[in-house]
Every structure is written in structure tokens, then in C-alpha cells.
């Protein structure tokens, strides 16, 4: 792994270490401030809601000014949002913080994917799985730290002060060690990109990417997988507290223990994405979302919460390297427009992630906690049946067509010789 890629891993760990504390604590802080479940859903969703708007713009910035500047902007915004938490004590303030965090994430994801796509040509899935593993381990560990600190001190101010200090470190890592990669013209895919089970070359204009049937399915997969996954994003803490009756320390312990799923599943999933293509694990997250929802409903106790969380994390760990391989391959083949291509595709997942907590909060308020999990399970199954299976079929048809064209070309060359 090259130096810049290693810096992306370190940055990801440090960033998520601080941000994981925020993600864990904000729903509990919102309860502390007196917000109801629907209001908490809106606050949680605000981060993802702004991303579909910002990501395409950041794609243009990355293409024009370079991914390093996008990275610096992202980490600086994260630091700003962390520092502001020290003085925020209203619902409007929390909403503003989540919007800033969303803008930072929208800048960070396309920048990191673009850097890795151009520095890790043949090992993109494995490289990104390492980045994700570092981020997720930090985030899950941060949940345990946040739970223990809250249990010991009962002070959110202590948490926000620690977060502000940690958030400064990624800015320094990016500034010192992440070097920009000059835009390149479209180039052939490496083993981890568009091979026999992946989509055909991308159109040049990022605004036209959804004209391809395969890309429409990929966008639909990101939308549905993101929405069902984030129906329990942060709402998990509320469900565990209000329904399962768990305390902050117990919820934090669940976050800490569930890291086993990320460590066991993530690296092999990256290898599978590089070796066998993206079709194998494309529906892993949607299926895991459906199964974990059933577990949460059937076993609303500590063991059930832990088991469901581990299933969720396993699905996430299996899916993200696959998603990154799709976006990274598209970015490289688009050449100078790679940032826009990756950003526009990734924005579809962000849109789904924005819808998830809002839908969950509305269903919970309207019909009860169990029914939002029933809806999540149904949507997870529908994602596999309506999107995942069609995506694999279309990819297989394109692979056969490309193989036939390649064989025909080789035959013509042999006849000429």
C-alpha cells in the first residue's frame, strides 16, 4: 500500500474516532434536550440529507482543484462541527451541526475514493476495505468510550471537548501526508474494477450516468441499501434504550463487541470484490438489514440487540468494498471527470441514508417501534428481489457480450495474420 493510501487509512481512523463519539451521543443528547422520536429522526437524517446536494458539487471541485483540497475542506468542516457542539443546547443547533457534518462527509467520500482509485490500481477493493475497517473500528470503539464516559461522568460537555481535540488530528494528517493525484484520461480497468461481472464503460458526462440500465440499477441499489441501513442508524440507540431498556454503558458495549463482524468480514469482502467482481456481494447489505430487523423484533434484550447489530455490521462490511469498487472503477474510466462520476453515484446512497431515519421516525410515531422494523425487513427483501437480482443478471449479460466481442476481435486478428 502506497504512502498516500496509508495516510487515507490513518485519517479515516482518526476522523471516525471523534465522529463515532458524536454519532453515538447525539441521539442520547437529543433525548436529554427533550426531543421526541420524530424530531430525533429529523436531526439524525440532516447529515445524510445534505449529502446528495453537496456531493455532485464536490465532484466538480475535486476534478477542478484536486482531491487533496476536498479532503482538507472535509476535515476542517468536521473540526468546526465538533467545536460548535460545545455551545449547542437546542434542537436547531443540533440540526445545524448535522448539516455541517453532512457537508464534510460529502466532501470526504468522493475525495478518498478518487485518491485510492488512482493509487491502488489493482487492489482497490482491498485498499478500501482497510480504510473502512479502520473507520469502523474507530467508530465502534468510540461508541464504547462514549457510553463509558457518559455512565461515569454524566457530562456531554466532556464528550464534546474530547471530540474537538480528536477532530483536529485528521486535518494535520491530510495536510502533511495526503498528496494530490493529477487527473488522468480514461484508462483500462484493473482486476479490481470493471471485469467480467461489472458494468460497461461510463458515459463522459456525470449528469448522464443514469442513462445506462446498469447504472440505474446500481443507483437504485445504493438508494435502497442506504435507506434500509439508516432506518436504524442512531435510531438503534433509541430502540435499545426505550424498548430493550438498556443503559448507555450497555449500548456502548454492543458497539464495541460488534466490531468483530467488521474485522472478520471486511478484508475478505475486499478480496472477493477484487477477485470475483461486485455481483457476488452486491445485495449483502440489503439482506443483512432484513435479517437484523427480524432479530431486533424477536429478541429486544441485550443478546438480541448485540446479535442484530453484528448482522448489520457484517452486511455493511461486505457491501462497502463492493460499492467502492463500482465507484472507483467508474471514476478511473471517466478520466478527468472521475470525481463527478463517483460523487453523483454515491449521492444516490446518501439520499437513501437521508430518507431512512425520517421514515423510521414517522413509522415509529404512527404505528410503534416494531412496525418500523417490519417495514425495514420488507424493504430489505424487496431490494434483493427487485434490484439485486436484476443487477446481477444485467451484469452477466454485459459480461457475455463483452466476452463475445473480445473473442470475435481475436479471431479477426488471427485471420489477418
Instruction: Tell me, rounded to whole angstroms, the distance of Cα 5 from its chain centroid.
Output: 18
CA distance linking residue 335 with residue 342, whole number of Å: 11
pLDDT by residue, tens only, the chain of 417 residues: 567 778 888 888 988 888 888 888 888 888 888 888 778 878 877 877 787 777 777 777 777 777 778 778 878 888 988 889 888 888 888 888 888 888 887 777 777 777 776 666 556 666 776 777 787 778 767 777 787 878 887 888 888 888 888 999 988 888 888 776 554 444 444 433 434 334 434 444 444 555 666 677 777 777 888 888 888 866 788 888 888 888 878 887 887 777 777 777 767 776 676 666 656 666 677 788 889 889 999 998 999 999 999 888 888 878 877 777 767 666 666 666 666 767 777 778 878 877 888 888 888 888 888 888 898 888 888 887 777 777 677 666 655 665 665 666 655 665 655
Instruction: Tell me, rounded to whole angstroms, the distance of Cα 395 from its chain centroid.
Output: 23
CA distance linking residue 321 with residue 282, whole number of Å: 10
Are 60 and 110 within 8 A, CB to CB?
Answer: no
> Which CATH number is associated with domain 3-178+210-416?
1.20.1250.20
Are 115 and 173 within 8 A, CB to CB?
Answer: no
Burial class (CB in 10 A: 0-12, 13-18, 19+), 342: buried
pTM: 0.61
| Residues 128, 133, 136, 139, CA torsion sign | negative
Are 3 and 177 within 8 A, CB to CB?
Answer: yes
Residues contacting residue 34 through CB under 8 Å, at least 6 positions apart = none
Mark 143-162 as b/e (b = at least 16 C-beta within 10 Å). Answer: bbbbbebbeeeeebeebbeb
Are 277 and 124 within 8 A, CB to CB?
Answer: no
CA distance linking residue 77 with residue 60, whole number of Å: 18
Amino acid at each position: 500500500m502506497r504512502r498516500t493510501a496509508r495516510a487515507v487509512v490513518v485519517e479515516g481512523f482518526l476522523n471516525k474516532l471523534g465522529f463515532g463519539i458524536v454519532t453515538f451521543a447525539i441521539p442520547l443528547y437529543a433525548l436529554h434536550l427533550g426531543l421526541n422520536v420524530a424530531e430525533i429522526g429529523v436531526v439524525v437524517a440532516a447529515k445524510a440529507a445534505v449529502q446528495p446536494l453537496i456531493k455532485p458539487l464536490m465532484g466538480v471541485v475535486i476534478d477542478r482543484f484536486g482531491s487533496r483540497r476536498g479532503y482538507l475542506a472535509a476535515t476542517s468542516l468536521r473540526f468546526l462541527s465538533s467545536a460548535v457542539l460545545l455551545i449547542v443546547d437546542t434542537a436547531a443547533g443540533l440540526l445545524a451541526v448535522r448539516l455541517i457534518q453532512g457537508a464534510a462527509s460529502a466532501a470526504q467520500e468522493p475525495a478518498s475514493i478518487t485518491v485510492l482509485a488512482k493509487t491502488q490500481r489493482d487492489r482497490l477493493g482491498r485498499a478500501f476495505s482497510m480504510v473502512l475497517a479502520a473507520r469502523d473500528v474507530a467508530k465502534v470503539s468510540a461508541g464504547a468510550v462514549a457510553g463509558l464516559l457518559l455512565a461515569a461522568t454524566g457530562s456531554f460537555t466532556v464528550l464534546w471537548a474530547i471530540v474537538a481535540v480528536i477532530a483536529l488530528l485528521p486535518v494535520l494528517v491530510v495536510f502533511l501526508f495526503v498528496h494530490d493525484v493529477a487527473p488522468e484520461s480514461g484508462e483500462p480497468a484493473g482486476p479490481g474494477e470493471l471485469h467480467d461481472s461489472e458494468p460497461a464503460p461510463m458515459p463522459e458526462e456525470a449528469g448522464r450516468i443514469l442513462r445506462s440500465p446498469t447504472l440505474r440499477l446500481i443507483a437504485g441499489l445504493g438508494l435502497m441499501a442506504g435507506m434500509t441501513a439508516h432506518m436504524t442508524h442512531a435510531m438503534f440507540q433509541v430502540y435499545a434504550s426505550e424498548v430493550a431498556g438498556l443503559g448507555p454503558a450497555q449500548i456502548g458495549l454492543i458497539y464495541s463487541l460488534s466490531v468483530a463482524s467488521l474485522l472478520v468480514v471486511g478484508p475478505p469482502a475486499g478480496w472477493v470484490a477484487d477477485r470475483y467482481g461486485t455481483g457476488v456481494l452486491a445485495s449483502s447489505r440489503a439482506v443483512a438489514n432484513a435479517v437484523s430487523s427480524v432479530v431486533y423484533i424477536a429478541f429486544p434484550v441485550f443478546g438480541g440487540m448485540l446479535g442484530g447489530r453484528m448482522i448489520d455490521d457484517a452486511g455493511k462490511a461486505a457491501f462497502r468494498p463492493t460499492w467502492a469498487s463500482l465507484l472507483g472503477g467508474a471514476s478511473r474510466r471517466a478520466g478527468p471527470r472521475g470525481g463527478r462520476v463517483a460523487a453523483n453515484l454515491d449521492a444516490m446512497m446518501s439520499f437513501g441514508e437521508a430518507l431512512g431515519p425520517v421514515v423510521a421516525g414517522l413509522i415509529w410515531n404512527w404505528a410503534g417501534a416494531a412496525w418500523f422494523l417490519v417495514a425495514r425487513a420488507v424493504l430489505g427483501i424487496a431490494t434483493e428481489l427487485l434490484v439485486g437480482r436484476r443487477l446481477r443478471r444485467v451484469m452477466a449479460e454485459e459480461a457475455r457480450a463483452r466476452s463475445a466481442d473480445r473473442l470475435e476481435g481475436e479471431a479477426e486478428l488471427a485471420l489477418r495474420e
